[in-house]
Amino acid sequence: MSKVVVVGSYVVDLMSRTPHLPKPGETVLGGPFQMGPGGKGGNQATAAARSGSEVTFVTKLGDDVFGREALKHFTKEDVNIEYIKVTPDQSTGAALIEVDEEGENSIVVALGACGTISEAEVEEAEEKIKEADIVLLQLETSIEAVVTTVKLARIHGVPVILNPAPYQEFPKEILKNVAYITPNETEAFELTGIEVTDEGTALTAAQMIHDLGVDSVIITLGGKGAFLYTGGDKGELIPSFTVEAVDTTGAGDAFNGGFAHAISNGYSLKDAMKFANAVAALSVTKIGTAPAMPYKNEVEALLAKTLK
């Protein structure tokens, strides 16, 4: 069983359905309301664990009801919670999510405790990082935590996946020690200034990111799939799966968790991306984020179905 360490965010998802996403100043009657575990780190850890990896999650929670529910969730998912810190000084993070009838969403994230993860708190998990097959990061936490994790992974020769989401400025020199980067179109634009609208612009953006030092650039393109670039004058689009989407929230997290599982189990890059695409596709067929992450048997069934 592969060992995956996820360092990053946990927030509780507070989600409501709505006929349409509100315009500025507009109040919309929605419902039903749903509360559940979330955050990019939490979603990715759940996706990797349900895919079949042994997962250690490094994050920080408030000493409150949301934090206690988080610990229950990860214990149930067989995620190692040894390095989840609980602080009385900050509240557990929260995400306010609106999802319209087309499955599109609008999200506001208040990071709370996970936005204060310190260098020392990451260093406590150094032994687990040393033992890991892959380390998975996002930018939905303190940049101090991101930089420290990349440093420790480099020291111990562990490959890093960086999901630069939601985008915030970070020291670009760390990219020389990142094996895989997985921006979506918006994050690729933030990194390069290139508006990604098709495979041609995806290639241009990927080449610029590759020049920053990342070996493998994967730009996720929603329902189109994901674009892979590893050097040279062309890349390749790995197409997604056709499903009936009911909630696209967390699809990128599903992709990253699935990719971490697959690549750490020795899949080729293309096969790992196919696996990740299947995890992402299945996740949007259910309401919610972490609770919507599919299990390994569901992913394998979808992959097998497409091969027939």
Q: Which pLDDT value is given to residue 145?
A: 97
Joined together, the tokens standing for residue 163 give 């999901």
- How far out from the chain centre does Cα 229 lie? 19
Q: Which residues are catalytic?
A: 253
What does the pLDDT look like over 26-39, one tens digit per residue?
Answer: 999 988 898 989 99
Q: Which pLDDT value is given to residue 64?
A: 96
Please write down the long-range contacts of 207-215, taking CB distance under 8 Å and 24 or more positions apart. 209/175, 209/181, 209/183, 212/172, 212/175, 212/176, 213/173, 213/175, 213/176, 213/177, 213/178, 214/162, 214/175, 214/178, 214/179, 214/180, 214/181, 215/179, 215/180
Closest CA to 152 of 119, 116, 118: 119
Lowest mean pLDDT, pick from 95-99, 116-120, 126-130: 95-99
What does the pLDDT look like over 39-64, one tens digit per residue?
Answer: 999 999 999 999 999 999 999 999 99
What does the pLDDT look like over 164-213, one tens digit per residue?
Answer: 999 999 999 999 999 999 999 999 999 999 999 999 999 999 999 999 99
> pTM, whole model, 2 decimals?
0.93
